[in-house]
């Protein structure tokens, strides 16, 4: 993999129904652009990875520990290791960027699909 990429060339990792990620993996971190379909849910889970993310399109309802908040573009979260969290995309879906450390090797067995045009950024109209 080249160190200089375009989003549309990155293979999609199917995380669960309605949730797919484009991953760029470094030596100690994973950067992702995650597309969530309308009303897609990632149920409560926890992991060893620290996670920092931001909504770049759409809306999500995020629950971290005992706090729940609706977040739109520019909404940011910080999740320390092993804290329970869940997310549900809004009715129009969402796109989020997230960074995980250490590298997310727990996704290595997930189905991969060929690259295609991303949901975000929107295609330029001509």
pLDDT above 60 for 85: yes
Over 80: is that where the pLDDT of 125 sits?
A: no
Interatomic CA distance for residues 2 and 35, integer angstroms: 22
Domain boundary assignment for the chain: 19-107
The residues, ordered by sequence, that sit 6+ positions from 96 with a Cβ below 8 Å of its Cβ are 33, 34, 36, 53, 54, 55, 56, 60
Q: What is the pLDDT of residues 14-64, one digit of tens each?
A: 999 999 999 999 999 999 999 999 999 999 999 999 999 999 999 999 999
Q: What is the pTM of this model?
A: 0.93
Say which CATH topology domain 19-107 has. Answer: Jelly Rolls (2.60.120)
Tell how strand 30-36 and strand 19-25 pair up.
antiparallel
Contact in structure between 42 and 96 (CB atoms under 8 Å): no
- pLDDT at position 40 is 98
% of the chain at pLDDT higher than 70? 98
- What per-residue confidence (pLDDT) applies to 81? 97
* pLDDT of residue 13 exceeding 90: yes
Assess contact for 8 and 116: CB atoms under 8 A: yes
């Amino acid at each position: 993999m080249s160190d200089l990429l375009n989003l549309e060339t990155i293979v999609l990792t199917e995380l669960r129904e309605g949730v797919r990620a484009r991953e760029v993996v470094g030596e100690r971190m994973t950067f992702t652009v995650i597309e969530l379909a309308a009303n897609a849910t990632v149920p409560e889970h926890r992991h060893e990875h620290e996670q920092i993310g931001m909504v770049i399109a759409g809306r999500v309802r995020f629950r971290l520990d005992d706090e729940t908040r609706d977040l739109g573009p520019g909404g940011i979260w910080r999740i320390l290791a092993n804290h329970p969290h869940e997310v549900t995309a809004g009715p129009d879906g969402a796109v989020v960027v997230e960074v995980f450390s250490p590298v997310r090797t727990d996704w290595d067995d997930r189905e991969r699909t060929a690259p295609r045009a991303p949901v975000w950024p929107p295609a330029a109209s001509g």
